[in-house]
């Protein structure tokens, strides 16, 4: 078991020596991005006494932070690239509405990312990455619960676990290695028969033959409500929220600055880049090569689904989920790589509902609201959290993939440590931007990129 974990109360926990927060004066911080990561960073900076300005092209607008599945996925401690995955990828790509898609026009741009994704799928790299993911996920509730309590979201977290279901009795056996790896990292795993599964979730139909219950998982009422409440709280407590597109981040003689489209320049002591899938453009201007792609996700939310679920259900064979939210049943999934400019293909949202009907026979398919958004994905499934190579006064916080909501408040705490020169409660080297490197003499678009 990873040192520092406890399963008491069925919650992953990571025990850190308490440190006294120093109330700072005179520090100003600009946070680029008003998603859950940027807002969590702003919350921590504000709590520590900094003057905070949040800049976003559309602070109240639609983001991955608004449309995610609502899960607090602390048990997701394995990377996307694992041994044997390459055998499944061709079948997924051949299915026009399968769980994975790569738009042909974007494929050449993806070569460096895909090359690194393949390289980190070895056993040793998976173990290293999993340790890093577990180190941040182990502290999620310690950081998330106080934030929720402070801003008025205490009643919006449901710690009911998650249910992963399979279409065959040997489904668990096929993924035994992955479940055992999670167990070794402190994840509680309870294997269930078909009867056990339906006792927990009677709405599931006979297609389900087995399942796994992970009690440490939880879900929230509505992702949009969470970011709306947090943003409103920040504004009410002194944070300035500006609408604008950041074109450039740079150093000044006495600090940092951001240049907005239109000519406005803002200055501050420090800048945090937390702009999700758009962050790589700013980081590369600062000299930090990033392997960051938009992994577009899709969902449909049905206000009157006709079925009831108590917790998030993960459909392992088809790679999608269903979560009971206050706004309805959200059915989400898919991973589509096509860049930031390609239009969404909402047939994927419709396909997810059709798949869900197979598992939930009583599902009312009518009246669904479709959504699509850009997840910021790195090839090793680890976020970028750390100082830029140009200056310690510019800090990165992006690339959380499917775990932005889960890791948001913890990322805020970690970035707070960096802003105020405190020792973080975990090793940040796996999350460093410097892990993305280019071999000397190679062009930046060469597939010879690698991950440390």
- Helices 36-47, 223-236: axis angle to 10 degrees equals 30
Give the residue carrying structure tokens 């992006």.
Answer: 398
Predicted confidence at residue 32, as pLDDT, reads 98
Q: Which domains does the chain have, with CATH numbers?
A: 24-436+446-451 (3.50.50.60)
pLDDT value for 452: 47
Residue 30 and residue 196: Cα distance in Å, rounded?
A: 50
pLDDT for position 436:
86
* pLDDT recorded at residue 302: 98
Lowest-pLDDT choice from 47-56, 399-408, 441-450: 441-450
**Run of H or E including 298:** strand 293-302
Q: In whole angstroms, how far apart are CA 380 and each of 112, 139, 357, 399, 452?
A: 12, 20, 33, 10, 10
d(CA 231, CA 241): 9
pLDDT tens readout for residues 68-98:
999 999 999 999 998 877 777 777 777 777 7
For the chain, percent of residues with pLDDT exceeding 70: 91
pLDDT digits (tens, 9 = 90+) for 283-321: 999 999 999 999 999 999 999 999 999 999 999 999 999
Over residues 122-180, the pLDDT tens digits come to 888 999 999 999 999 999 999 999 999 999 999 999 999 999 999 999 999 999 999 99
Instruction: Quickly tell me which residue has 């950081």 as its tokens.
Output: 143
């Amino acid at each position: 078991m990873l040192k520092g974990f406890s399963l008491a109360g069925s919650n992953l926990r990571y025990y850190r020596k308490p440190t006294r927060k120093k109330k700072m004066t005179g520090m100003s911080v600009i946070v680029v991005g008003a998603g859950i990561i940027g807002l969590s960073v702003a919350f921590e900076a504000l709590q520590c006494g900094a003057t905070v300005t949040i800049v976003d092209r559309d602070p109240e607008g639609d983001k991955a932070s608004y449309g995610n599945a609502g899960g607090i996925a602390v048990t997701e401690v394995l990377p996307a690239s694992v041994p044997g995955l390459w055998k499944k990828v061709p079948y997924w790509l051949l299915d026009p509405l399968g769980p994975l898609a790569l738009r042909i026009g974007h494929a050449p741009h993806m070569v460096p990312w895909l090359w690194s994704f393949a390289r980190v799928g070895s056993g040793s790299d998976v173990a290293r990455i999993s340790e890093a993911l577990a180190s941040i996920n182990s502290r999620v509730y310690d950081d998330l619960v106080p934030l929720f309590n402070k801003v008025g979201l205490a009643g919006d977290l449901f710690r009911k676990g998650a249910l992963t279901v399979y279409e065959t009795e040997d489904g668990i056996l096929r993924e035994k290695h992955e479940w055992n790896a999670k167990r070794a990292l402190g994840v509680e795993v309870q294997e269930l028969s078909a009867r056990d599964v339906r006792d927990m979730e009677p709405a599931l139909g006979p297609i389900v033959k087995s399942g796994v219950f992970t009690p440490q998982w939880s879900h929230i009422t509505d992702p949009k409500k969470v970011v709306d409440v947090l943003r409103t709280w920040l504004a009410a407590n002194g944070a300035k929220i500006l609408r604008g597109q950041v074109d450039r981040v740079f150093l000044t003689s006495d600090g940092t600055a951001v240049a907005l489209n239109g000519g406005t320049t803002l200055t501050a002591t420090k800048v945090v880049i937390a702009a999700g899938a758009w962050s790589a453009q700013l980081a590369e201007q600062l000299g930090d090569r990033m392997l960051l792609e938009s992994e577009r996700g899709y969902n449909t939310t049905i206000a009157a689904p006709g079925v009831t679920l108590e917790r998030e259900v993960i459909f392992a064979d088809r790679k999608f989920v269903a979560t009971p939210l206050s706004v309805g049943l959200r059915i989400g999934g898919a991973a589509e790589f096509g860049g930031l400019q390609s239009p969404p293909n909402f047939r994927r949202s419709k396909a997810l509902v059709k798949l869900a009907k197979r598992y939930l026979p009583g599902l009312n398919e009518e009246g669904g609201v479709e959504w699509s958004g850009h997840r910021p994905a790195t090839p090793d499934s680890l976020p970028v959290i750390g100082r830029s190579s140009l200056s310690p006064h510019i800090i990165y916080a992006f690339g959380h993939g499917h775990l932005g909501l889960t890791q948001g408040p913890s990322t805020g705490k970690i970035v707070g440590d960096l802003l105020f020169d405190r020792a973080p409660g975990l090793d940040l080297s796996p999350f460093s931007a410097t892990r993305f490197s280019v071999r000397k003499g190679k062009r930046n678009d060469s597939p010879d990129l690698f991950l440390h």
